[in-house]
Amino acid sequence: MIRKKIRVTIISDFDGVLFDIGRFKRDYARVFSAAGIPIRDYERTYKKAKKETRGVYDMAQHAAFLKQKYPAARDLRVRIAEFLARSRQYLYRDAMPFLLWCASERLPVVIVSAGSSFQRKKINESGIRSRARSLFITRTPSKINVLRGIMRQNPQDVFFYLDDLPAALEEVRKNFPEIKTIRISRNHREKKNRGMDIVASNLSRARSIISSLLYEERKER
């Protein structure tokens, strides 16, 4: 068991780390299909909306594009709200146990995710918001400014950063080499890549890695 001898902050992405975004997106597309919108048009306007909002998804922008061609789309906003209310079912099985372990070991978790009010609603509806110390939603894919603010507020902490995207991890390593980065790669082998410290196949494995790294950190101090 890890004793609280050093201060730690775990910063985690949401999609692909705690939340099965692939399964969520497949079912989300079906919401639009049920409203009378062909999948092809859903995908085209989805990409267009992300481009319009600098790479993050904004449901309001997406709906605005669709209304141009489908003004009578049946109760689309109501359908989306009902779908988001079921976000909890898309959490990975190891997400809540990981967060509960962090709480038991007094390792605060900060969730940093790119998106809009849609993303915030999705996270809140998933039921894990209360398990995190803070939640930050960035309006661009880059999270560097948010991470810089977190580190300034907690300058003595040891930081871990969890993400599933190699590009995001590489950006963090480039700007903050002192952060220990872990890629959550659920469908790939645990092979270290450029721009990250360690690769873990799931959050159970990440938990073991964090425990080991903190043990080594304590020995050094």
Print the SS3 string covering 89-152.
HHECCCHHHHHHHHHHCCCCEEEEEECCHHHHHHHHHHCCHHHCCEEEEECCCCCHHHHHHHHH
How many Å apart are CA 93 and CA 98, to the nearest integer?
A: 9
Same domain, 26 and 16: no
Contacts of 138 (CB under 8 A, 6+ apart): 56, 112, 113, 114, 115, 145, 146
Give the residue ranges of DSSP H helices in the chain: 21-34, 39-52, 59-69, 76-84, 95-104, 117-126, 144-153, 166-175, 203-220
Say if 3 falls within a structural domain.
no
Find out whether 119 and 56 touch, Cβ atoms under 8 Å.
yes
pLDDT of residue 147: 97
Tell which of 87, 102, 136 closes a domain.
Answer: 87
Tell which of 36, 67, 87 closes a domain.
Answer: 87
Spans of the chain below 70 pLDDT: 1-5, 188-196, 219-221
Domain that holds residue 161: 8-20+91-220
In tens, the pLDDT along 116-146 reads: 999 999 999 999 999 999 999 999 999 999 9
How many Å apart are CA 43 and CA 35, to the nearest integer?
A: 14
How many Å apart are CA 156 and CA 208, to the nearest integer?
A: 23
How many Å apart are CA 139 and CA 208, to the nearest integer?
A: 32
How many Å apart are CA 112 and CA 147, to the nearest integer?
A: 8
pLDDT of residue 175: 96
Closest to 137 measured CA to CA, from 162, 156, 110, 119: 119
Q: What CATH number is given to the structural domain containing 147?
A: 3.40.50.1000
Same domain, 72 and 16: no
Give the predicted TM-score (pTM) of the model. Answer: 0.90
Same domain, 101 and 210: yes
Question: Which residue reads 């809540």 in tokens?
Answer: 96
The DSSP call for residue 193 is: -
Q: How many domains are contained in the chain?
A: 2
In tens, the pLDDT along 60-91 reads: 899 888 888 888 777 888 899 999 999 999 99
